[in-house]
Amino acid sequence: DHTSMRICVRSIRRRGMAMLLDARSIPNGHTLTADLCIVGAGAAGITLAMELEATGMSIIMLEAGGKSRAGTSQELYQGRVNDPIRHLPLDQARYRQLGGTTSLWGGRCIPFDDLDFEARDWVAYSGWPITRSHLDQYYRRAHAYCECGPYDYHVGSALRGAPSEMLPLFKDGLVSTAKLERWSPPTQFGKTYRATLARSENVRVVLQAAALELTCSPAGNCVEQVQVAALQGGRFNVRSKLVLLAGGGLETTRLLFVSNRVHREGIGNQSGWLGRGYMSHIHGAIARIRMTSGREVMFGYETDPQGVFCRRHIAISEETQRRHGLLNHYMVLDRPLLGDPAHEDGVLSAAYLLKRLFGGRQQEELGTGKYALYWRHLKNILRGSPQALSILPKFGRGRLLQRRRVPSLLLGARSNEYYLYFQSEQIPNPDSRVTLDDARDAFGMPRLHLEFRVSSQDYDSVVRAHGLFDDELRRQGCGSLAYLGDDPREQVHEAKAVLGHHVGTTRMSELPSQGVVNADCRVHGVANLFVASSSVFPTSSHANPTLTIVALAIRLADHLKTVVSKG
């Protein structure tokens, strides 16, 4: 066994990847040992390894996919979804490879708001055992990993010299237009940090290594080893003093459920919350915004002094959320869907066909009849070819040839009318949940069944937020909303879950009876098991989860440094 391991390590060293191992070369029945085992090598796992590498601890990080592609292991993600119209299949919008789903990440970075961490009497099961101010120092450090510039999300300080008004004549109050979202290049963690991990003397990354089960002590208060397997390979174990689960919201939950030899309902499920409270964000467009002034709207992307792309967004103030009992919510001015040729815009049609030609991920599919659809797009291009020829080459260079790429194609509207894209928080509903299915994957592990629920409160909050914004525009005499259909309450029911935002299934709580992990992200009742994932979020905010995942991973790493130093 030891001879085989030495041969495996030597062969990888000759390729310049000293500590990247292939699980298929590990002998069947072998046991690897380390101080720390990290399950998952996405944003959270790689951040943890990078932060803890200098402690001198020996670290094994398990990645179920390969170095740069998922291959056949992607099929292990398949599962059942109750609502395939509103939620993507479980093997889409997440990825098995070094770097995890950051290989698919668009790069949007937004921190959660102060109110997101508070117990709100109009949001059942809300409240975090930590505050936003406590997390600020970790958000600041997360910016370095995500490469999204200074920790500053306010137009006045981040974009000095830029026009203060987003919307002509509109004054902030009940509604704010002075906040930003920032954009990572986007950072693909597997590519960006692979060389550093490979050079490490303390970190061993094991690729093609799927964690199948956590083996607990007879008393159930400690994880003794992780059972691992490789497709077209054998099975082996990892024994470590500490185990960190960083495999994403869904796979982390599945692993806790299947590890039920001692904890019959799954590790961490003494409260009954494991798998419950599943949230994403609902998003879409139910209205356009019409401005009365002919002055320029601050639409599209701006860059800060470091060259980071930023974009202004519209938010309902915390005071207004309290007064009206609203969920958190943000809006941006946007273009029509690329895939809908009804926009009659040659540039947008050309961009859509280029995405199809180069195999881009399709987030805006419109059903069947693709050749008729392509012909309609081609007619748009022929009608608008001079504009397309003037704009698309510049966009193509910014999108395809620059590491810090332009996030998307946005064109100003000559009519001063824009689509209003929204992204909204969901309530933590215990009936929105993941459970184990009867179907099994190639390793014999139960697949997941997702029961995705969108509540009437989720829908109602979106409609009321739009109504408040419309009222403010009209009151100030600077514009109005025009809904895309006769009844916005019917329209919002077509809203879908945002890609890859898997939140809430191992929720953080002060008391074991109210969640799965404590404020330090340690699983209640298990001394050496921690979770680094958006699954620990008790509520989802309006914000994309990646930046907060990285911030919590840094915070967890600092906690573990203290634990190790105390010995």
Kindly report, residue by residue over 130-176, the tens digit of the pLDDT: 999 999 999 999 999 999 999 999 999 999 999 999 999 999 999 99
Structure tokens at 243: 């185990």
**What are the helix and strand counts (H, E) for the chain?**
13, 20
Tokens 């509520």 correspond to what residue? Answer: 539
Strand bridging mode 309-316 / 175-183: antiparallel
Q: What are phi and psi of 199, to 5 degrees?
A: -80, -15
Q: Which helix (H) or strand (E) segment is 258 a member of?
A: helix 249-258
pLDDT tens-digit map of 199-250: 999 999 999 999 999 999 999 999 999 999 999 899 999 999 999 999 999 9
Q: What is the dihedral of CA 97, 100, 104, 106, to 10 degrees?
A: -150
Per-residue confidence (pLDDT) for residue 340, from 0 to 100: 64
Distances (CA, A) of 418 to 281, 288, 337, 350, 479: 22, 5, 12, 20, 11
Of 90, 123, 93, nearest in space to 435 by CA: 90
Number of neighbours of residue 220 by Cβ within 10 angstroms: 15
Q: What is the pLDDT of residues 476-522, one digit of tens each?
A: 999 999 999 999 999 999 999 998 899 999 999 999 999 999 999 99
Query: Both tokens of residue 352?
Result: 């859509």
CB atoms within 10 A of CB 4: 12
Nearest to 202 by CA among 338, 16, 59: 59
The set of residues, in sequence order, having a beta carbon less than 8 Å from that of 377 and lying 6+ positions away, is 341, 349, 350, 352, 353
Per run of 10 residues, the mean pLDDT along the chain (length 567 residues) is: 41 49 95 97 98 95 90 92 94 93 94 98 98 97 98 96 93 96 97 94 96 98 98 95 97 98 97 98 95 87 96 96 97 75 62 61 45 70 60 58 76 77 98 98 97 97 98 96 94 90 97 98 98 98 97 98 81
Backbone angles phi, psi at 280, to 5 degrees: -125, -145
Q: How far apart are CA 158 and CA 310, in angstroms?
A: 9
What's residue 8's pLDDT? 44
pLDDT value of residue 333: 93
| Other CB atoms within 10 A of residue 154 CB | 11
Cβ neighbours of residue 160 closer than 8 Å, sequence gap 6 or more:
305
The pTM of the whole model exceeds 0.75: yes
Confidence at residue 408, expressed as pLDDT on a 0 to 100 scale = 78
Instruction: Count the helix, strand and coil residues of the chain and give each as a percent rounded to the nearest 5.
Output: 35, 25, 45
